[in-house]
Structure 1
Amino acid sequence: MALQEVIANDNVNELYSLIERDGNLLDHGSKGPFPNTPLHDAADKGQTKVAMEIATLKPSFTRKLNRGGHSPMHLALQKKHYHTARALMTLNPKLIRVRGRGGITPLHFVAREKGDNQENLELLELLAEFLSACKSSIEDLTNQCETAVHVAVRTGNTEAFKVLFEWLKQVHLIEVLDWKDQDGDTVLHIAKSKKQLEIVKLLDQYMDVNAKNFRGETALKIFQVNPSGGPDVAGSFRCEGSRERCYTPTLSLSQFSEREPTDSEKFTNSFSVQDKSNREIIIVVSTLIAGVTYQAALTPPGGYWQDSSSNSTANSSGIALGKPHEAGDIILSGSSLFIYTLSNSWAFSPRLPPSRPPLFN
């Protein structure tokens, strides 16, 4: 039985039988810069069992692009073999970030795809799973400098945008909405130019309508030149005296760093640590503090009495060291012991260092 038949039958046992006869079986035809590996074939056909075995045996195949610029996960998604794509994700979540043709990652792909009711539900579920499995995938850009949010808005995939939008709020990455593509357009520019009113309403409270793209256009200007929607949409883009909220231009990095945090930001900073590297530093420092504190509790200043005594004792300088004692008692006593114990216990109390203030409330 040939390898292609094994893949077509999704037969794992036969796969290993072939490998026993030819240890280089999977490498045949898999050399060169853009190979079509057996994993590509298995993913293209949706043969999940064989695909997972090959991916386990040859992890390097999972990231290779064929001549069409597609990785195995890209092919699985294109052929709507979502179970295969999901299986590959569980093997290595970073496969969600593999950039294929046009810089499109699997996350970009599911953000733009739409289908019938059932298929669309599965795509939205897969999108949520991708975001959960690999948070950093939201930072990946296409060759047009588009995030997955850009892609969802540009293709009119409102439901996918809602999933992305709610997730960005939950993980405190709402600033991604302000990222610009190669034309300097934010998602709000795109939503306004394509008259996607539902998306515009969602973005209204989170984005700056006065931010300019590389053509010098703001979302407000786009609306004025090409108005759409009812008064409720129009009202959100106007400043009418003190009754309407006027957006201020986006702060530069230096201005943002120098400004005083708002009360809301101070409250948020007191209860959240948003950056992964900060959390890792806190864990390391907290472990060190706990270790030192625990050791200090075991070895207090002066140590412990080595013997018992029914009389008061003094040190070599004639200073009284305490009342009668038993062997094993702490030498430190009275107010000094109280202060030491209180200070040592205080080191265990939970305190979070201030984190970087969020760009948006």
Structure 2
Amino acid sequence: MSFTKMENVLSPLDEAATLGDINLLYALIEVDPHILDHIEAIPFVDTPLHVAASAGHVHFAIEIMRLKPSFNFKLNPQGFSPIHLALQEGHKTLVRRLVDIDKELVRVKGREGITPLHFVSQTGDSDLLATFLSACPDSIEDVTVRRETALHVALKYKRFESFQVLVGWLSRNTRKGAACLQYSILNRKDEEGNTILHLSAIHNDLQALDLLIKTKMMELNAQNLEKLTALDKAACKEMGKKLLKAGAIRSSSIEVRPTLADELRSNITARKKVITGIKRIRESMSDSHREAYLVVAALILTAIYQSALSPPGGLYQSEIGAKNSASAEAGKSVLSSSDFFVFSLLNKTVLFLTILLTSLVLIPTGWVGFQLIGPTFSIAFSYLFSMDLISPNLGTQLVDQIIFYLFILVFIWVVIEMVINSLAWKLLKIQICAALRINRLKLKFRVEDMHSAYP
């Protein structure tokens, strides 16, 4: 991943860039106002910005960026952008100024898809690495032509401090979808199918291994293209012990999973059809429509809940000194049993449909949606309980019981689906499997110890 220095062709414009002479630049522009346009028309060329960046002339480079912003991302014949050359020559001040002006420069891909983030991950410049991540968080997702992330590069070139910065940034990131991003980046595979856990095992990097295990987000038994896990690639016994203790297993112990082609060929279950239908409705709904529907749903729920507080006709009131029979009716609806049944059934039906639509379609997925499900159904259960309290009927009718249990079943189903389709479920499965394997290993060792003690 080393950069080759460009050849200097000292045309008048290149001479101005080499010297950092802004006055000479404008003198040339006076002679030929299209002098920069001629260079822009060439697909791969050493622009004045390339020359100035390589020489470290901050003010001249900024002036060129202002005049021709397109030069920021232009590659020279060797496949390098101006910021790549500035990094190569160690002009950190210029690099920081370039990124301040255009944060997307952190993501510009040069030769072999190498970005400035990849480059500083390789060289081990932790300060610049942190600056790049803060300026352009999306750059963490960029990969080279070998499908290597910045974490792969840091491990490949044994830059543990850079690796610490990258993992630490992922752990502290609070942007939308941060948890999913962390899980995805930590378990991303390169062109050989190796995750960073594989690389830490291959390079015998115990520090990196410990750091990754502590994140609790690693797929310990991910297989590369050779169908080998990190435990299979462990370079020493100590690393093997650490992986075993964390719950890793060898590839020979992993059950063969159906491929995507096998899954697509299989029959679609009723559950899959329902889930697919819900997802299609979610995807086809715009944010503005979802917000409008949420407002309507909130108004409906408010109106329905109000009906339990103030039913038609009101409630019987208790009076001081009233007889026992009158006191027994206090707080009950004044409606007849048949009228209250119809009123209650209509309200509960609307409540059920509104809660179902809100929980399955309108509430966002992920942790936010998972946290909203509980309060949403709590309102429904509170309403059912309130209606039962004010019912003029003695005892709970069969229909009320059916509706109540129906709400419970829907609530359980929605929670299970949200958990299964969330990152939390993946992490939970990883931790449960790891715990089970650890206990199984402990039991195995105890049995072996007993056999050795009592042959």
Q: TM-score range by the shorter chain?
A: 0.5 to 0.7
Which residue is equivalent to 2:28?
18
Alpha-carbon shift at residue 253 of structure 1 (Å): 11
Instruction: Find out whether 1:221 has 2:232 as its counterpart.
Output: yes
Question: Aligned in 2, Cα 1:360/1:88: closer, same or farther, shift over 3 Å?
Answer: farther
Instruction: Find out whether 1:57 has 2:67 as its counterpart.
Output: yes
Match of 1:66 among 76, 81, 87: 76
Question: Aligned in 2, Cα 1:77/1:253: closer, same or farther, shift over 3 Å?
Answer: farther
Which residue is equivalent to 2:108?
98
Which residue is equivalent to 1:108?
118
Which residue is equivalent to 1:211?
222
Question: Aligned in 2, Cα 1:285/1:23: closer, same or farther, shift over 3 Å?
Answer: farther
Match of 1:174 among 168, 178, 182: 182
* Matched residue type, 1:127: L
Structure 2: segments with no counterpart, 5+ residues? 1-10, 174-178, 264-268, 270-282, 299-361, 368-421, 429-455
In structure 2, distance between residues paired with 1:285 and 1:11 = 57
Which residue is equivalent to 1:201?
210
In structure 1, distance between residues paired with 2:159 and 2:229 = 23
Q: Which moved more, 1:177-186 or 1:26-35?
A: 26-35
Which residue is equivalent to 1:192?
201
* Matched residue type, 1:190: L
Match of 1:153 among 149, 152, 155: 155
In structure 1, distance between residues paired with 2:93 and 2:147 = 29
Match of 1:355 among 363, 366, 370: 366
Which residue is equivalent to 2:339?
none
Instruction: Find out whether 1:83 has 2:89 as its counterpart.
Output: no
What CA deviation, in whole Å up to 9, does each residue of 1:139-195 have, x standing for no partner?
A: 111111101111111110100000100111122322211110010000011111101
SS at match of 2:232: helix
Larger radius of gyration: 2
In structure 2, distance between residues paired with 1:20 and 1:211 = 62
Question: Aligned in 2, Cα 1:124/1:360: closer, same or farther, shift over 3 Å?
Answer: farther
Determine what percentage of the aligned residue pairs are the same residue.
38
Question: Aligned in 2, Cα 1:193/1:48: closer, same or farther, shift over 3 Å?
Answer: same
Alpha-carbon shift at residue 284 of structure 1 (Å): 9.4
In structure 2, distance between residues paired with 1:23 and 1:41 = 20
* Matched residue type, 1:227: C
CA RMSD of aligned residues (A): 3.8
Alpha-carbon shift at residue 252 of structure 1 (Å): 9.4
Instruction: Find out whether 1:48 has 2:76 as its counterpart.
Output: no
In structure 1, distance between residues paired with 2:288 and 2:116 = 32
* Matched residue type, 1:65: L
Q: Which moved more, 1:51-60 or 1:1-10?
A: 1-10
How many pairs does the alignment contain? 270
Instruction: Find out whether 1:32 has 2:42 as its counterpart.
Output: yes
Question: Aligned in 2, Cα 1:166/1:282: closer, same or farther, shift over 3 Å?
Answer: farther
What CA deviation, in whole Å up to 9, does each residue of 1:185-222 have, x standing for no partner?
A: 00011111101110011112331221110011110111
Which residue is equivalent to 1:126?
128
Alpha-carbon shift at residue 352 of structure 1 (Å): 7.9
Which residue is equivalent to 1:236?
242
Alpha-carbon shift at residue 84 of structure 1 (Å): 1.6
What CA deviation, in whole Å up to 9, does each residue of 1:71-127 have, x standing for no partner?
A: 11111111111222222212221121111111111111111113xxxxxxxx21211
Are 1:211 and 1:249, in contact at CA under 8 Å, matched by a contact in 2? no
Are 1:138 and 1:147, in contact at CA under 8 Å, matched by a contact in 2? yes
* Matched residue type, 1:153: L
Alpha-carbon shift at residue 287 of structure 1 (Å): 9.8
Alpha-carbon shift at residue 246 of structure 1 (Å): 5.7
SS at match of 1:73: helix
Instruction: Find out whether 1:139 has 2:149 as its counterpart.
Output: no
Which residue is equivalent to 2:412?
none
SS at match of 2:85: helix
What CA deviation, in whole Å up to 9, does each residue of 1:327-348 have, x standing for no partner?
A: xxxxxxxxxxxxxxxxxxxxxx
Alpha-carbon shift at residue 15 of structure 1 (Å): 2.7
Question: Aligned in 2, Cα 1:36/1:9: closer, same or farther, shift over 3 Å?
Answer: closer
Are 2:117 and 2:132, in contact at CA under 8 Å, matched by a contact in 1? yes
Higher helix share: 2
Question: Aligned in 2, Cα 1:282/1:28: closer, same or farther, shift over 3 Å?
Answer: closer
Are 1:195 and 1:228, in contact at CA under 8 Å, matched by a contact in 2? no
TM-score normalised by the chain length of structure 1: 0.64
Alpha-carbon shift at residue 21 of structure 1 (Å): 3.3
